[in-house]
Chains A and B, each alone.
Chain A
Amino acid sequence: MASVSVCQYRPGGFSFENCKRNALLEADINKLGFSSPAARKTGTTICGVVYKDGVVLGADTRATEGMVVADKNCSKIHYISPNIYCCGAGTAADTEMTTQIISSNLELHSLSTGRLPRVTTANRMLKQMLFRYQGYIGAALVLGGVDCNGPHLYSIYPHGSTDKLPYVTMGSGSLAAMAVFEDRYRPNMEEEEAKRLVRDAIAAGIFNDLGSGSNIDLCVITKGNVDYLRPHDMANKKGVREDKVYGRPVTGSYRYKHGTTGVLTKAVTPLNLEVVEESVQTMDTS
């Protein structure tokens, strides 16, 4: 029996039709003078370094929405697997969801193979997903971990390109952090030196980049052990208001002594007011 419906050829791959429509809508809105709501970005300074026994990942903790700080203490170092962690810069939602998706898939993969996952597997999964979305997922990641082949560190860009290097930085504060790395990085550092180097690199981003700020989180991954140090360094602790000044409590007291302001002259003018019109409007409480 002949089939009535005609099968339309569906081109493979992701459909970017909505992205084109969104761009047009954005242009129209801007012409009218309004702006569409800004996605929350994690401005950010993130970095990672390979040292003698493993990797050290570092991140600041500021999340921005345009020019306003949306979160003063957000966590940018995401769990991928017991031996692999990933720092994320770019659009906060994108980094969060992307790392969660890959973490979930990697756990299933790990159960299937019966082995501890490898960093290169996570890298491949992330780059293939980001390439599929052609850069529309704004996630710039620093992926680090230790597996059977030793410590590994990757930087992953939103369009899906990756670099495997001994030290990497990402985010708006990456130039400041990279300056610190290029000055002081040495191969095969000890753990304390590596932690100090990453801490200083993030601090450079925090203090020299407007998109980064607040505290410094560290994650030290070695064979068989992970130290998730959050916070490692509270570089921007909020100040405490002074309680007493000259023995008098400062907070909330606006009482001044008699004679603080000298009175020179005093004149009293009575204002004779007469009611002209009075109207009462009852509230509609139905």
Chain B
Amino acid sequence: IVSTFNNYNDLYPDWTQREVSTGTTIMAVEFEGGVVIGADSRTTTGAYIANRVTDKLTPIHERIFCCRSGSAADTQAIADAVTYQLGFHSIELDEAPLVQTAASLFREMCYRYREELMAGIIVAGWDPRRGGQVYTVPVGGMMTRQPVSVGGSGSSYIYGYVDSNYRAGMSKEECLKFTAEALTLAMERDGSSGGVVRLAVISEQGVERQVILGNQLPKFSTV
């Protein structure tokens, strides 16, 4: 993510030339009747936090969201393109689109332009055919469905927590607590993740969004 167009003087500090990246920790969990998605809110350019209240949970359709990680410009451009394509497809069908369709559109774009793009995306939502689903499309353009998925630079720190604490058949409230705690732990350890925790629950009833501010985050033992 190195910009080469100006390295020669200190008038223009490093962070004015680095590309904007959504450092990030993102997460999505399936439960009976829907999905819970969550993300931190930090966008960095080098060592400067360009936006401390970013919304990385982007609506693609009424009941389909995507969690963005990687280059901010790349993921915003991809999400805008897929939103257009899915909206068009949905009007043609005169039906709510499938989450798998949205994930496939993301995969098509991320795989075709894999050399040019730096984007790690988790697609999650609810559709009438298969209920709540989580699909992960990491850098490189693979696409796979998972009951729980984490992504972004902060995800490395919570694979152990997620693997040991996930149980199939959790309720909505348990999923929310699980996601909030996992994100908090990642934000604590990863420098590129931080700010507030944004959560969303997508189900047949629609989308409920919530924000957990810094001082309200769950507390763990401070070593």
Contact = CB atoms under 8 A, between A and B. Distances in A.
Contact of B11 (A64, A138, A162): A64
Interface in A86-112: none
Contact of B51 (A131, A163, A210): A163
Contacts of B73: 127, 130-131, 135, 157, 159-161
Contact of B9 (A66, A128, A158, A165): A66
Chain A interface size, as a band, is 20 to 34
Given A23-B4, A135-B19, A175-B48, A161 B12 contact: no
Interface of A: 23, 35, 38, 41, 43, 64, 66-67, 124, 127-128, 130-131, 134-136, 138, 140, 155, 157-163, 165, 171-172, 174-175, 210-211
Chain B interface size, as a band, is 20 to 34
A165 B52 CA distance: 10
A162 B76 contact: yes
B85 interface: no
14 contacts: A41-B12, A67-B9, A128-B77, A130-B73, A131-B73, A135-B19, A135-B73, A138-B6, A157-B20, A157-B45, A157-B72, A161-B43, A174-B16, A211-B12
A88 B30 CA distance: 44
Given A135-B19, A157-B20, A163-B54, A43 B76 contact: no
Give the top 5 A-B pairs by smallest Cβ distance, nearest first: A161-B72, A159-B73, A160-B73, A161-B73, A211-B11
Contacts of A211: 11-12
B50 A163 contact: yes
B8 A159 contact: no
B16 A161 contact: no
A179 B74 CA distance: 29
Contacts of A157: 19-20, 45, 50, 72-73
Interface in B1-28: 3-6, 8-9, 11-13, 16, 19-20
B53 to A, nearest CB: 7
Interface string B21-65: 000000000000000000000010100101101100000000000
Prevailing SS type, chain A contact patch: loop
Counting chain B CB atoms within 10 Å of each CB, the highest count among A140, A160, A175 belongs to: A160
A284 B201 CA distance: 91
B19 to A, nearest CB: 5
Nearest to A23: B4
A128 B78 CA distance: 11
Given A159-B74, A160-B73, A174-B16, 10 more contacts: A23-B4, A38-B8, A64-B11, A127-B77, A128-B80, A131-B73, A159-B20, A172-B11, A172-B12, A172-B13
A136 B4 CA distance: 9
B51 A165 contact: yes
A193 B139 CA distance: 46
A124 B72 CA distance: 15
Nearest to A27: B4
A131 B5 contact: no
